[in-house]
Structure 1
């Protein structure tokens, strides 16, 4: 057959794009695999105790017993659909007893405030002594920012004290880096972590961190460029997550206190910028917090607000968020479990139809099949569904779901 393009030309193009493909693959390695927690609990460093995870679970269970002692009360108190309330009620109770806290940061920043040097030193050493003992899958600290020379010195000293005290950080240890404004700050943190790893005889790249996206400059830089990709690149492979900071960001946008909440359109813009900037990089996303705490006479109203915000975050593709109070665990798990229970049957049928290549009203692509598998796997990992329930819905076991998620 006659053609116009010759083999030498095509070989040159293939060679050229092969180099591009290699760089793209390095920049966008895809999901890192493993479990992503549904939340991160932030606890001020002066409030931590050796029994903290169990204590949070007990306090959350006590709040559930007092304000939603049965499925009907849970539906009324939180907003869980009545048809799902019995299942959600039992599974949330079991979750609070078995694994109330999935991820935890000891907070040395806004939740902790400004203390004298000796006090923060003492709290940092104490945190190092407690962190390993909690036995959590995810744990770490939020240090102060690099906004000023004074804050930088304090942040670095606290980081040094905690890591030196730990010696070898537990698996899943991560540092939360707040109020980042420029890639230079990220580069400096990387350099510091390099030195700490060398001097503590840790493996190269063992220390990872999350960047808090809570300044406008972390979304759009001073030249009008999207900043997230540059911040991730500056992290040199150490950035594990981006965490949205609701209140600093909305305040920086000029919003009044009444409009500083996760459902504001300004937050949607920032979150979408985070999604696009981090897509494919393996850097995971976490939404921010609700500062309406379920205390005193405000338990049920706060629960309903938190539940709606978590459901909204899930629908926007944010599967993790912050919790600041033990009683927030109730609406957190209610929202996550209800979300998975509502979608699991349909997701399972779609995935089964895709694998069987059967005809139907929805024609799914491989990327959607991976998303369906990832959602079902998340449901099992957090306790919303059992592995047996997922297998009944789609015919796949956990290993099969993981294979679909990782297929690229």
Structure 2
């Protein structure tokens, strides 16, 4: 082949270094398991039986208020899928009601300077007991107080005491630990917190990089300093970014009745989070619904489940596969919405991926692009993991 340029490599000096930087910033990672939710429990209400209690409460609501024939109407699920969803939700609530747990020392706990040490110690004892009993969720940890409150020592002391006692009692740090770092109003707080984790690892004899944390995006100020370089700057400690709907909407001066996950200002924040962390391996999580059933009346319970499922579906359709759950009733609507989302498209995606692999027409006028096929393959893998079929 005849060409015009004698030495194309000379036109892109330094390319190898730039490509290495690209690979470091955006490493390829196959889809891995991510919890579908995080359950937050105030530290003073947490104990070794908390997960079992939440599961029993959720399963009780499910059995009383959601016979199989009602599921399609409550959650807007096709009849063909409703039976499979119903069976899977029942099995999940009995087997593993909570996938990710945070012991909360922040907003759900409040300011209790004379009690926090004791509650941190009690929480550590409970975690060690759950680890021994095999009931500790696959992902677990605590949420510390924000540095923005002006008392970083309190935040670090609680984390230190909690981890020290867990390791002393359990003989190790059980797998799946992560700490949630809320209300990050200044970029510098992230570096300071990462330095504290360095010191804790050294003091506790943990391998470097063991302690990872989630940043909570709860204010417009946080959105302004988000950028992909955070992952490298924080030495790989940044595990996830979680959206805090109520603090964020309050920071934007929204009236209380507009503080909801599907408000446009929340859409903007989530889009920024997606754009910044795409390809970095940082997990994304959406926020919560601050509501519980108003009574034991079936209609009231159904109304709550219907609204929660709408918000979960809204998040899933926008690529946020995890959210917060704040009440046992949310477990029912969380799993029902997640399972319906994945099951409703799984057969179609599998058919189209097979057609692409076999280099034949997918049918129905569909002309799939390679990026779409790759996305469908990832969606199938994510579905298998979420459904427990992997």
Q: TM-score, normalised by structure 2?
A: 0.91
SS in 1 for 2:189: helix
Contact 2:25 2:228 in 1 (8 A): no
- Choose between structure 1 and 2 for higher RCO, CA contacts under 8 A separated by at least 6 residues: 2
1:13-52 maps to which residues of 2 (within 5 A)?
A: 13=11, 16-31=14-29, 33-52=31-50
1:354 matched residue in structure 2: 356
Q: Deviations over 1:35-60 (max 9, x none)?
A: 11111111111111212222211110
1:276 matched residue in structure 2: 275
**Counterpart among 206, 209, 212 of residue 210 in structure 2:** 206
| C-alpha separation in 2, matches of 1:22 and 1:278 | 18
Deviation at 1:283, TM superposition (A): 0.3
1:177-326 maps to which residues of 2 (within 5 A)?
A: 177-221=181-225, 227-229=226-228, 231-296=230-295, 297=297, 298-326=300-328
User: Unaligned regions of 5+ residues in structure 2, if any?
Assistant: none
| C-alpha separation in 2, matches of 1:286 and 1:207 | 19
**Counterpart among 94, 105, 120 of residue 97 in structure 1:** 94
User: Unaligned regions of 5+ residues in structure 1, if any?
Assistant: 222-226, 387-397, 399-408
Q: In 2 relative to 1, CA 47–172 (structure 1 residues): closer, same or farther, beyond 3 Å?
A: same
Q: TM-score, normalised by structure 1?
A: 0.88
Q: Deviations over 1:13-53 (max 9, x none)?
A: 45511110101110111336531111111111111121222
Aligned pairs, how many? 376
| C-alpha separation in 2, matches of 1:219 and 1:245 | 12
Q: Deviations over 1:69-91 (max 9, x none)?
A: x1122334444334422221111
Q: Deviations over 1:336-370 (max 9, x none)?
A: 11111111111111111121121233333443333
Contact 1:183 1:230 in 2 (8 A): no
| C-alpha separation in 2, matches of 1:231 and 1:18 | 22
| C-alpha separation in 1, matches of 2:371 and 2:76 | 32
Deviation at 1:100, TM superposition (A): 0.8
**Counterpart among 97, 104, 108 of residue 111 in structure 1:** 108
**Counterpart among 124, 128, 137 of residue 124 in structure 2:** 128
| C-alpha separation in 1, matches of 2:249 and 2:78 | 31
Kindly indicate whether residue 153 of structure 2 is the aligned counterpart of residue 153 of structure 1: yes
